[in-house]
Amino acid sequence: MTVANATPAQDDLSNVSIDAPIVASHNKYLEDQTVSIRARTIPWEGYQRASLITEDELAQIRQFEKSPSAALSEAGDKYSDLFLTLLQKLVRADTIQNILVLIDDVLSEKPERVQLFFRLAQQKNDPTLPYGPFFKLLKKDDEYIQLKSAKIATYLLLHAPSNETTDISELLTWLTTQMQNANVNIVDIAVQLLQSILSIPEYRLPFYQTHQGVQNMVDILKKGSPSAQMQYQVIYNLWLLTLIKDIAADLQRKYDVVPLLIDIVKAAIKEKVSRVVIATFKNLMSEAPQENMAALIGNKLLNVCENLSGRKWSDEDILEDLAYLKEELTRNVANLSTWDEYETEVRSGKLEWSPPHLSEQFWKQNANKLTERDFELLRLVSRIVATSQSPVVLAVAAHDIGQFVKYATNGKKALEEIGAKTQVMQLMTHADGDVRYQALMAVQKMMTHAYNA
């Protein structure tokens, strides 16, 4: 595994069974539409008679149709200019579709032709080129035009001159939106294109800062039953993001990905899904241990790693990553004090009836610590009460609220200040008997210890 500023090639998980960066080049949904569009005839003469294109442009087009390779070899710069000019001056959707297919064919046949478009940008000294025309088409009310424009723009990004970056916020916003599309084929294309873009380290932070970008990826993993391939692609993107230290330090806090990824790896059938999840955990551990250790320990990743180590894997990197995780987790677990153990559990959101919760001595000594840093831990317990679906977790959280009120200075007032009192009272009607009981006990303590308010 490599550092955040590595080149795309160096960022590969390994040389075994890993998909290289792609540009949605094998998506049947897009290919089938392309075959149909390529078969159409464009009425270029009619456009010339309507003064939509010039006589010179028509002559260029006809020359290109006779022998595309010869035309590009003789006057490649001239044709790249022609293609982009036509994209910007013509408005009919079917014609724009054909031009995009033409450009994609030109680039796919010989990747080095991408330099024609970058040379054109230099010659014209136009900062909007070569991406601008394609970004503009992302707003066109035509699904195919959007998809093909996004694919071409991504291809240009992947083959841009070294050390050259551009503002791709329009493309990242479009990709983010498409990840919510009801059409699973479009979601697949968006995730693939994003995988290609994130192979370029300089674009990882801009995507992470894109509104709803990561959230929409996480939602793909949470909603419905994504295929193993979709799981792999989305988590691969998360892995790429966590190669950036600042992202690795923030991802769990903001999106709570650790328990989600643990559930996925425990149920995964495909080895490559397990592999990329484990590699992501390794990034979280190695790049930002202080920020992620509590969640990794609290969600029982050590137990998961022990179980996974007993399987047979064809990829030795998995065993190496598991060994690293087990060593780091074991060392940190051994160093936990009783308070550290409790804090780790709260931060993970996975509360259980472990010794700290049940010890009166623990609460006498530590209840006031929940109010430190503007009630940070108390707010986390309150959030668990408000959001958890697990009866065990809710019962433990309600119990902890009661113990906090009993032993903390001004405990009831603190609960009211953060809104936790109402949340606990709502649990008194919960379907689970133990949750109701613990909530009742907590409310009774609020009444009994009201003098602390």
> Where residue 443 falls among pLDDT bands split at 50, 70, 90?
very high
Short-list 43, 33, 32, CA closest to 95 = 43
**% of residues, the chain, pLDDT over 70:** 93
| Percent composition of the chain: helix, strand, coil (DSSP 3-state, to 5) | 75, 0, 25
Yes or no: say if 342 and 356 are a contact pair by the CB < 8 Å rule.
yes
* Interacting residues of 312 by C-beta distance below 8 A, sequence separation 6+: none
Short-list 435, 431, 428, CA closest to 395 = 435
Yes or no: say if 14 and 275 are a contact pair by the CB < 8 Å rule.
no
- pLDDT of 5 above 80: no
For position 41, what pLDDT does the model report? 84
Yes or no: say if 190 and 152 are a contact pair by the CB < 8 Å rule.
no
Choice between 391 and 336, residue whose per-residue pLDDT is larger: 391
Q: What are the sequence ranges of the domains in the chain? A: 22-166, 179-335, 350-452
Q: Please give the average per-residue pLDDT across 383-406, as a whole number.
A: 94
Tell me what the pLDDT averaged over the chain comes to: 88
Yes or no: say if 165 and 207 are a contact pair by the CB < 8 Å rule.
no
pLDDT digit string, tens, across residues 212-232: 999 999 999 998 778 999 999
* Backbone φ and ψ of 340, nearest 5°: -60, -40
pLDDT digit string, tens, across residues 95-116: 999 889 888 888 887 878 888 8
- pLDDT of 20 above 60: no
For position 17, what pLDDT does the model report? 36
- pLDDT of 241 above 70: yes
> Where residue 191 falls among pLDDT bands split at 50, 70, 90?
very high
For position 23, what pLDDT does the model report? 56
Strand, helix or coil at 224?
coil
Q: Which fold has domain 179-335?
A: Leucine-rich Repeat Variant (1.25.10)
Yes or no: say if 324 and 282 are a contact pair by the CB < 8 Å rule.
yes
The CA distance from 288 to 227, in Å, is 30
Yes or no: say if 240 and 204 are a contact pair by the CB < 8 Å rule.
yes
Q: Please give the average per-residue pLDDT across 251-278, as a whole number.
A: 95
For position 438, what pLDDT does the model report? 95
For position 13, what pLDDT does the model report? 54
Q: Which top CATH class is 350-452?
A: mainly alpha
Q: How far is CA 249 from CA 205, 263, 381, in A?
A: 12, 21, 22
* Interacting residues of 281 by C-beta distance below 8 A, sequence separation 6+: 258, 261, 296, 301, 321, 325
pLDDT digit string, tens, across residues 166-190: 999 999 999 999 999 999 999 999 9
For position 123, what pLDDT does the model report? 87
- pLDDT of 15 above 70: no
pLDDT digit string, tens, across residues 42-73: 888 888 888 888 898 888 888 887 777 777 77
For position 16, what pLDDT does the model report? 33
Yes or no: say if 249 and 289 are a contact pair by the CB < 8 Å rule.
no
Yes or no: say if 90 and 83 are a contact pair by the CB < 8 Å rule.
no
For position 48, what pLDDT does the model report? 87
Cis? peptide before 130, omega within 30° of 0: yes
For residue 168, give the DSSP letter: -
Lowest mean pLDDT among 93-102, 204-213, 236-245: 93-102
Lowest mean pLDDT among 3-7, 364-368, 381-385, 395-399: 3-7
- pLDDT of 24 above 60: no
pLDDT digit string, tens, across residues 339-393: 988 998 998 888 988 888 988 999 999 999 999 999 999 999 999 999 999 999 9
> Where residue 450 falls among pLDDT bands split at 50, 70, 90?
low
